[in-house]
Structure 1
Amino acid sequence: MADFFADLLPKQPSNSQNGSQKPPSFEDDVLVSPTASSDQARASSSAAMSGGPMRKDTAKDLEGVVQAVFQRFSGSLQKILEDVDRRLESLENRTEHICQVVTDLQSVAGLREDAAKERLGGLEKTLREVHRSVQIIRDKQELAEASAELAKLASPQPRRRRR
């Protein structure tokens, strides 16, 4: 983890400069817990950003604060991703349901269309039968009229007496 934050830490001064700088003393070290207030975290981060030398405990504190922030952000991101996953799953379920309903409607429409064609075919057949029956009745009526006229013509007419 120290390698991950290496670019955030200031470079340690080298001791090759005639020893003019003293190594940091342990008396100057201030312990800041990872659960320290945000003011303390800002103070330690501002000291780190100022370019001055950073003590090991400050670097560790900063690392703890950064880890806590990353954990919080990763937890939030995980919750968001889970919510997006739930929504996508819900959308997928709704889409599948709609596809099923459309398929059902198409099959019902096909059945209705087939039933309508069947009914129209039956109606057409019935109309042809009615037309044929009407024609038969007309023919019978014409035959009855013709036979009545023939019977009338064939019957002997009473002769009239001439005077």
Structure 2
Amino acid sequence: MALFDSAADYARYRPGIPDEAVRLLAESLADLERPTLLDLGSGTGQVPAALLPAVPRITRVDLVDPDSDMLRTATEQLRPLHGQAVVAFHAVPAESFSAPADGYQADLVTCARAFHWLDRPAALRMIDRVSMNPGSPAAGMPVSNRKRALLEEYMHGEGLVEDTMFTVLLARRVGAA
């Protein structure tokens, strides 16, 4: 972990998920009865921690991060929030994640502030393998003006909005236009 001395520092100093971003993500799951969330580069679990209260019908959450300390912190943070949802922690790079069971399909794939660290082509191939609508590449996701404005505000001029559609909180409901 190069930017922070510990997972506790990361959890303490990393900005949370903006309410508007949580609303956008929750809206993307509105028509699903029992959605599955796949969060790549999960860190301390900020995305699931924000989404689980907003979408209590999420039935499964898979957190993927190569840093075991981060995932331990995520475990503590999510314990009071996940209700009946199955929460699984995968201490592997996002590109190496594989479906935990036959028939697994992620309905929503998120990657907050981490996509630029990944091997993007490999990560997108993995997403296609485990997503609800294989063959619908994440790279083709249109970015609405509303989402772009949110991302630009959220990134505070870090310049990552243009080079990836996932990096901040732009999550894509896999298979949605």
TM-score range, shorter chain: under 0.3
Which structure has the higher relative contact order (CA within 8 Å, separation 6+)?
2
Scaled by the length of structure 1, the TM-score of the pair is: 0.21
From the two aligned structures, give the one with the greater strand fraction.
2
From the two aligned structures, give the one with the greater helix fraction.
1
Scaled by the length of structure 2, the TM-score of the pair is: 0.20
